[in-house]
């Protein structure tokens, strides 16, 4: 269990409450919906993936931690609680964040380019990355943050009304609000709105298989290709993430991989080569890989931003290992934000940041050489 002392609690809570509805529902972009923020409110919905143990204990089966939890205790993620031998999620229908973002921001570059995603998150996470960009909400407990009552039907309705092609489960770790994500995806489908999961991939096989039935795309943060990194900087494990990627490939789910390169931590060319070789061989050369630039964050403020040369070298390694679509992220205006045809080299989607200046992909192919470009384009 992740325990914080009183000083940290007060500091974190103060930091959060001082923000103008920090990362919360922006009513100006949602004119037809007037959410009421309620501080420190939880909901109780029975969890779907757990088993009952003697003496009112339970074992959570949602993620590889498989927390064993006594009555009136919570799991590591802090958003699931055992009450009298029944395990509950405390965050179903209680997002703390909601925005409309370009799908390119997730980033998903081969999935409905140029469309908008209604993006939601609850508090909580099942790991603790020392470089987390959203630690103010990912490391919170439900009582520490404002949240809104937003049931799945409303999420889907807002997305449809605002012409969002998808609902994105993002910002924190959607694995820990799996039931809410699943229900939103079902409601979205009824209204023709797709669903994308932006995740660390640290989830057990059975819940991920079930999610594959209702999701349309997934982005996985593969944070390193060495267990040492996961132990020291993530508080998680590498192998379950690789297993999730293999499962997504087997299920024919559309997915993309982001690898945040942190200088001295996961930038060894051999590690990057090993990863790319594994992706090409065990997954597919068609999986887009985004090498993303690190900026000092959270508990990793003593490391400088990633040099562009490191990102360029990683991209060269990936292309040499046979990957077809390799991007560089968080470097404004870099040409590797665009999509190139792997066969003839033509620029197919010209991007600057999250903006698309031109999209030449025609019926899923390169208009110049007819090479089939992997992705979901319509």
Q: For residue 141, what is the enclosing H or E element?
A: none
Q: For residue 374, what is the enclosing H or E element?
A: none
Q: Sort strands 80-83 and 86-89 into parallel, antiparallel or unpaired.
A: antiparallel
Stretch that binds ligand SF4, among 64-72, 142-150, 268-276, 359-367 (CB under 6 A): 64-72
| Binder of ligand SF4 out of 23, 30, 67, 167 (CB under 6 A) | 67
63 binds ligand SF4 per the rule CB under 6 A: yes
| Binder of ligand SF4 out of 23, 58, 76, 104 (CB under 6 A) | 76
Percentages helix, strand, coil for the chain (3-state, rounded to 5) are 30, 25, 45
Binders in 117-136 for ligand SF4, by CB under 6 A: 126
Stretch that binds ligand SF4, among 59-67, 114-122, 215-223, 252-260 (CB under 6 A): 59-67
207 binds ligand SF4 per the rule CB under 6 A: no
Stretch that binds ligand SF4, among 2-10, 58-66, 154-162, 275-283 (CB under 6 A): 58-66
Residue 280 C-alpha from the chain's centroid: 22
Q: For residue 154, what is the enclosing H or E element?
A: helix 152-161
CA-CA distance, 95 to 189, in Å (whole number)?
20
Alpha carbon distances (Å) from 163 to 30, 52, 156, 168, 212: 11, 42, 11, 14, 24
Residues 6+ apart with CB under 8 A from 337: 327, 328, 329, 331, 351, 352, 353
CA-CA distance, 60 to 172, in Å (whole number)?
19
65 binds ligand SF4 per the rule CB under 6 A: yes
| Binder of ligand SF4 out of 58, 60, 211, 356 (CB under 6 A) | 60
Count of chain residues binding ligand SF4 (CB under 6 A): 12
181 binds ligand SF4 per the rule CB under 6 A: no
Do residues 193 and 165 touch, judged by C-beta distance below 8 A?
yes
Residue 83: count of CB within 10 angstroms of its CB: 14
x/- string (CB under 6 A) for ligand SF4, residues 213-232? --------------------
Q: Which of 235, 361 has the CB closer to ligand SF4?
A: 235
Shortest distance in whole angstroms from residue 77 CB to ligand SF4: 3
| Binder of ligand SF4 out of 41, 66, 273, 377 (CB under 6 A) | 66
| Binder of ligand SF4 out of 62, 96, 224, 318 (CB under 6 A) | 62
Shortest distance in whole angstroms from residue 60 CB to ligand SF4: 3
| Binder of ligand SF4 out of 23, 24, 30, 77 (CB under 6 A) | 77
Do residues 304 and 125 touch, judged by C-beta distance below 8 A?
no
Q: Which of 142, 342 has the CB closer to ligand SF4?
A: 142
Stretch that binds ligand SF4, among 55-63, 240-248, 293-301, 359-367 (CB under 6 A): 55-63
| Binder of ligand SF4 out of 24, 103, 159, 176 (CB under 6 A) | 176
CA-CA distance, 296 to 263, in Å (whole number)?
11
Q: In what order do the strands lie in the sheet with 355-359?
A: 339-340, 347-352, 355-359
80 binds ligand SF4 per the rule CB under 6 A: yes
For residue 107, say if its preceding peptide bond is cis, omega within 30 degrees of 0.
Answer: yes
200 binds ligand SF4 per the rule CB under 6 A: no
Q: Which residues bind ligand SF4 (CB under 6 A)?
A: 60, 62-63, 65-67, 75-77, 80, 126, 176
């Amino acid at each position: 269990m992740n325990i914080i002392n009183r000083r940290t609690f007060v500091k974190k809570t103060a930091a959060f409450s001082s923000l103008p509805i920090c990362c919360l529902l922006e009513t100006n972009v949602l004119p037809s919906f007037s959410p009421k923020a309620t501080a420190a409110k939880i909901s109780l919905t029975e969890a779907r993936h757990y088993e009952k143990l003697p003496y009112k204990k339970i074992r959570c089966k949602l993620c590889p931690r498989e927390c064993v939890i006594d009555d009136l205790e919570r799991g590591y993620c802090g958003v699931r609680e055992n009450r009298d031998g029944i395990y509950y999620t405390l965050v179903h229908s209680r997002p703390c964040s909601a925005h409309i973002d370009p799908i390119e921001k997730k980033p998903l570059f081969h999935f409905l380019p140029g469309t908008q995603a209604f993006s939601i998150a609850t508090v909580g996470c099942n790991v603790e990355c020392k470089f987390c960009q959203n630690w103010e909400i990912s490391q919170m407990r439900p009582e520490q943050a404002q949240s809104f009552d937003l049931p799945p039907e409303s999420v889907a309705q807002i997305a449809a009304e605002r012409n969002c092609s998808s609902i994105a489960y993002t910002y924190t770790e959607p694995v820990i609000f799996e039931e809410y994500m699943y229900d939103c995806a079902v409601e979205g489908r009824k209204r023709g709105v797709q669903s994308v999961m932006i995740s660390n991939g640290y989830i057990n096989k059975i819940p991920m298989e079930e999610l594959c039935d209702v999701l349309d795309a997934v982005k996985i943060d593969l944070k390193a290709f060495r267990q040492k990194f996961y132990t020291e900087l993530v508080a998680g494990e590498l192998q379950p993430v690789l297993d999730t990627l293999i499962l997504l490939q087997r299920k024919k789910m559309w997915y993309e991989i982001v690898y945040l390169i942190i200088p001295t931590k996961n930038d060894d060319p051999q590690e990057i080569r090993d990863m790319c070789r594994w992706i090409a061989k065990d997954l597919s050369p068609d999986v887009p890989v985004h090498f993303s630039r690190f900026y000092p964050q959270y508990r990793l403020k003593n490391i400088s931003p990633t040099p562009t040369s490191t990102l360029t070298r990683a991209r060269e390694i990936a292309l040499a290992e046979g990957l077809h679509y390799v991007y560089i992220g968080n470097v404004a205006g870099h040409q590797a934000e665009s999509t190139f045809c792997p066969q003839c080299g033509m620029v197919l989607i010209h991007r600057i940041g999250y903006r698309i200046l031109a999209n030449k992909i025609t019926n899923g192919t390169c208009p110049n050489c007819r090479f089939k470009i992997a992705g979901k384009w319509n």
